[in-house]
Chains A and B, each alone.
Chain A
């Protein structure tokens, strides 16, 4: 029986190794990397670009492959955080679902410093970008009010792909119409 099981296991390995689909956390990591390019970042005295992950180990691990790539001539450094202590050092801070209760604390710690807060679901008014899954696609909403408060300028490309964009003074994020009616 052991031998048969082993053979089965070996087959399993070979099948598994051939599968090629993009997992949620790999895609989240790719989005975060792209966000680094899709914003205009204010001048900073730091030599590196800090991409921080709080509370979702899988995304942190998937981001590792972007370590030492460059954005605006700066080296990207991936930081997998366990606490809120160092978040003021982050350029992008990704907050996983498990850490959402800490969002008020994160907001008050960061104030208006230029850190882009990205969350998985959660509360759009409190963050810059919120990710979500819709029809098996990873989608995102952008809160321009928060971005502007932090002095971050979203590039048009980003806004074009967003599911919804919330602008200053708007109570609710309004989804952009998929296509215009009429002629």
Chain B
């Protein structure tokens, strides 16, 4: 039996005093914000536990007799959603119930509600931005979007598809985690800004054959059928198929308001359609899952320099994948996760161009890849979690092609360009989480990636995590990430195509005020290196550009027992481009406010979301004013005879607003922004059989 101990509770003032001292030193001196992270790191270092701190501070519960333990009051674990990813950054989480409560329809909607992130749409794709990333023309790149561990970006453009061209219907999503900060230490290539981790639902949570129909403004309709079940023996199945069809709108573009270009109206060329399929089977540690999406969109803007306004410009993107993984423990101390994946991407684009002899242009791109990943986590030592593994990825087919066509539809063979690329990458990684004290952890890791066409590269990360008590976590990290030139870069930049790098420093503080409320604060700095820039202004590109961005984000979230949930955040960012000027399409301020509550009578739940997108610069360095938008959603709180419904209004106050256009579509007109939709409506009905 444990022996009784003195019930004296003693404090550990060591760290607090130093922290206060550090804070005072800082406030007493005039300092720029640059040494900020250094000081924070110093604060952490000064907080390093000493032998005495350990002896006096920790109450040893093992020495308290059981008779006394059972009398002790405990503080229940937080009701707030816990992160799955073990990452030294401030993870933001959106769950299936948030998705429903706020009427999200795409991953882009989910991302747009997250701290410090924003979406720019150009009626072609939705692009993501944040922390100085997301320059116009950069497809949703330099970010990882994972579905159950599968990296979804295509292997030609490294683009992540987050709109209707994305792989998943949101009804199949259990949660979305945004892990800010670089992730090359874990994922290698391309994880520069952060990781979006999508976890799909289990069949058991669906537990029905679900029929769903949706209707929205501008003649948008979606039908979906999903089936989910968990069987007696533990096997779990999800199957789903859906189809989406939207007629779109007639749109007015002031830049083309001339009689020759239909008075600036693009009529009947805003349609969008997609088809999606998804299946997942899991049994014990085995998960086999596959998804496919084919999206066709007509682009109503004049999306490239040579295309002709108010003519059909169609794009077709297809993405598919197969991911099979097996997780198990080998004995008590070794966890193993093995994974095989296969990916497919195909793009086809048709457009009318400003050329009399060959007025039609076509682009056809296709890529396929597969890979194997074997990861272990060793827990042989009580205070270490040692992660190690290796990955092999083979981008065996990367095909890019473009050609012009004569008016009669025959190809101009001389114009045809066909390029084939390939790459295989071998990577090894290792990381150790060392719990060197009850309240302190040190996470050190590195990943080495060697691609067949590039020199090997190390991506290190070191993080120090301090939990002064179970409600508070402080994390300081330094990491490096990189991005290999993709097939499109290799085609465009030729031999000049080089890897790009980023070095990131981040400090995170998280504090649970009680079990229902949490505050999160983070300060970061990213330094990017070897970005491609046009050295002469004549298309002579070289990887010599450097830039930096830094910022601060604050978030408050709460989940009360009466069903009210609230999340509110503010982000301040200062991002520079390679010339040292304010970066384009990078607002200095971003604000998010979301509240959802059951309405009296408990029949309905309302979800209100407001987003503030601060002033930002267009490609021609014109300033677009900040805009606040509100969305309102009503859902039935409980299923009624298997029926669930929701109704959403987007842009509730019908604000007229513009976003930065990712292309300079009418140079010299002074009009280089894109007008977005006014108020729109959307309803969804689900029937569980």
Total interface residues in chain B, CB < 8 Å = 68
A13-B15, A15-B16, A90-B332 given; name 11 further pairs at CB < 8 Å.
A2-B33, A7-B24, A7-B27, A9-B19, A12-B511, A21-B75, A61-B435, A64-B382, A82-B327, A86-B332, A137-B70
Residues of chain B in range 292-323 having any CB-CB distance to chain A below 8 Å: none
Q: Which of A13-51 contact B (CB under 8 A)?
A: 13-27, 29-31, 33-34, 37-38, 50
Among residues of A, the one whose C-beta sits closest to the C-beta of B21 is: A10
Q: Is the CB of A22 within 8 A of B23?
A: no
> Is there contact, CB below 8 Å, between B76 and A24?
yes
- The proximity string for A residues 99-142 relative to B, scoring 1 for CB distances below 8 Å and 0 otherwise, is 00110110000000000000000000000000001001111000
Residues of A contacting B552 in the complex (Cβ-Cβ under 8 angstroms):
2, 5
A137 to B59, CA, bound (A): 18
- Mask for B18-49, Cβ within 8 A of A = 1, else 0? 01101110110001010010011001000100
Task: Give A50 to B59 CA distance when docked, in angstroms.
Answer: 24
Closest 8 CB pairs of A and B: A14-B16, A10-B23, A23-B470, A79-B332, A7-B23, A67-B382, A16-B472, A30-B61
Q: Does the CB pair A161–B331 fall under 8 Å? A: no
Minimum CB–CB distance from A175 to chain B (whole Å) comes to: 15
In the complex, B639 has a CB within 8 A of chain A? no
**A58 near B: Cβ within 8 Å?**
yes
List 19 interface pairs A-B (beta carbons < 8 Å), by A numbering: A3-B27, A3-B31, A6-B36, A13-B47, A17-B16, A17-B468, A18-B11, A18-B16, A19-B471, A23-B470, A37-B2, A58-B77, A64-B383, A66-B62, A67-B382, A83-B285, A85-B328, A101-B234, A136-B73
B61 touches A29 (CB 8 A): yes
Q: Are A84 and B39 within 8 A (Cβ)?
A: no
B419 interfacial contact with A, CB 8 Å: no
Residue B356 at the chain A interface, CB threshold 8 Å: no
- List chain A residues, Cβ under 8 A from B377: 82
Give the distance in Å from the alpha carbon of A37 to the alpha carbon of B330 in the complex: 28
Please determine whether A68 and B284 come into contact, CB atoms closer than 8 angstroms. Answer: no
Which residues of the partner chain A approach B285 to less than 8 Å between Cβ atoms? 83, 85
Which B residues lie within 8 Å of A104 (CB)?
234
Q: Which of A2, A34, A38 contacts B36 (CB under 8 A)?
A: A2
A121 to B616, CA, bound (A): 51
The proximity string for B residues 54-74 relative to A, scoring 1 for CB distances below 8 Å and 0 otherwise, is 000001111010110111111
**Chain B residues near A83 (CB-CB < 8 A):** 284-285, 327-329, 335
Q: Given A4-B27, A13-B474, are A69 and B43 also a contact pair (CB < 8 Å)?
A: no
CB-defined contacts of B614 to chain A, threshold 8 Å: none
Question: Does the CB pair A161–B66 fall under 8 Å?
Answer: yes
Q: Is the CB of A31 within 8 A of B75?
A: no
Please state if B382 and A68 are interface contacts (CB–CB under 8 Å). yes
**Cross-chain contact A30 with B69 (CB below 8 angstroms):** yes
Query: A10-B23, A86-B331 known; A27 and B74 CB under 8 Å?
Result: yes
State whether A161 touches B470 (Cβ < 8 A): no
Name the contact of A20 in the complex, choosing from B9, B379, B511 (C-beta under 8 A): B9
Interchain CB contact under 8 A, A23 and B26: no
Q: Is A89 an interface residue (CB 8 A)?
A: yes
Considering only CB atoms and an 8 Å cut-off, how many residues of chain A contact the other chain?
Answer: 66
Q: Are A13 and B19 within 8 A (Cβ)?
A: yes
Query: Is the CB–CB distance between B329 and A20 below 8 Å?
Result: no
Which residues of B, 532-571, contact A by the 8 Å Cβ criterion? 552
Q: Are A26 and B24 in contact (CB under 8 A)?
A: no
Taken together as a complex, chains A and B put the C-alpha atoms of A133 and B327 apart, in Å, by 32
Is A166 an interface residue when CB atoms closer than 8 A count as contact? no
Contact with A along B415-447 (1 / 0, CB 8 A): 000000000000000000001001000000000
Please indicate the chain A residues that have their CB under 8 angstroms from the CB of B1 in the complex. 37
Q: Is the CB of B17 within 8 A of A27?
A: no
Residue of B nearest to A50 (CB): B332
In the bound complex, CA of A20 to CA of B471 (Å): 11
Bound state CA distance, A86 and B382, in angstroms? 18
CB distance from A57 to the nearest CB of B (A): 8
Q: Are B332 and A30 in contact (CB under 8 A)?
A: no
Let me know if A78 is at the binding interface, CB within 8 A.
yes
User: Which chain A residues border B406 with CB–CB below 8 Å?
Assistant: none
B468 contact from A13, A61, A157, Cβ within 8 A: A13
Of all chain A residues, the one with the shortest Cβ separation from B332 is: A79
Which residues of chain B are near A79, meaning CB under 8 Å? 332-333, 379
Measured between alpha carbons, how far is A81 from B333 in the docked complex, in Å? Answer: 8
Nearest CB of chain A from residue B57's CB, rounded to whole Å: 8
Pairwise interchain contact B70-A33, C-beta atoms closer than 8 A: no
Beta-carbon contacts under 8 Å, B317-365 to A: 327-333, 335
Cα(A15)–Cα(B511), bound, Å: 11
Q: How far is the CA of A81 from the CA of B328 in the complex (A)?
A: 9
Q: Which residues of A contact B149 (CB under 8 A)?
A: none
> Is B218 interfacial (CB 8 A cutoff)?
no
Task: Name A34's contact: one of B2, B331, B332 (CB within 8 Å).
Answer: B2
Find B59's partner among A20, A25, A64, A102 (CB 8 Å cutoff). A20
B521 in contact (CB, < 8 A): yes
Bound-state Cα–Cα, A6 to B22, Å: 9
Q: Tell me the complex Cα distance, A26–B471, Å.
A: 12
Q: List the B side residues contacting A64 at CB < 8 Å.
A: 382-383, 435
- The complex places the Cα of A101 from the Cα of B330 at a distance, in Å, of 22
- Interface residue A149 (Cβ < 8 Å from any Cβ of B): no
Which residues of B are found within 8 Å of A24, using beta-carbon distances? 74-77
Is there a chain B Cβ closer than 8 Å to A92's Cβ? no
- Whether B62 contacts A69 by the Cβ 8 Å rule is yes
Indicate whether A173 reaches chain B with its CB closer than 8 angstroms: no
In the bound complex, how far is the Cα of B333 from the Cα of A50, in angstroms? 11
In the bound complex, residues from chain A placing their C-beta under 8 Å from that of B67 are 157, 161
Bound form: Cα–Cα A43–B224 in Å: 58
Which residues from A are CB-within-8-Å of B27?
A: 3-4, 6-7
Q: Given A6-B26, A13-B474, verify A82-B335 contact (CB < 8 Å).
A: yes
The smallest C-beta distance from A142 to any residue of chain B, in angstroms, reads 13
* Interface residue from A58, A66, A138 paired with B70 (Cβ < 8 Å): A138
A136 close to B26 (CB less than 8 A) = no
> Is residue B13 within 8 Å, beta carbon to beta carbon, of the partner chain?
yes
Given contacts A61-B435, A157-B66, contact A22 B16 (CB under 8 A): no
- The answer on a CB contact under 8 Å between A102 and B234 is yes
Residues of B with C-beta under 8 A to A102: 234
Residue B279 at the A interface, CB < 8 A?
no
Q: Does A52 make an interface contact (CB < 8 A)?
A: yes
Assembled-state Cα–Cα distance A69/B60 (Å): 13
Tell whether A6 pairs with B64 under 8 Å between CB atoms, given A17-B15, A79-B332: no
List B contacts of A74 (CB < 8 A).
none
Complex alpha-carbon distance, A102 and B233, angstroms:
10
Please tell me if the beta carbons of A84 and B74 are within 8 angstroms of each other in the complex. Answer: no
A89 touching B332, Cβ below 8 Å: yes
Residue of B71, B72, B327 ringed by the most chain A CB atoms within 10 A: B72
Other-chain contact of B284, A65, A84, A137 (Cβ < 8 Å): A84
| Contact status of A6 and B39, CB under 8 A, knowing A16-B472, A20-B59 | yes
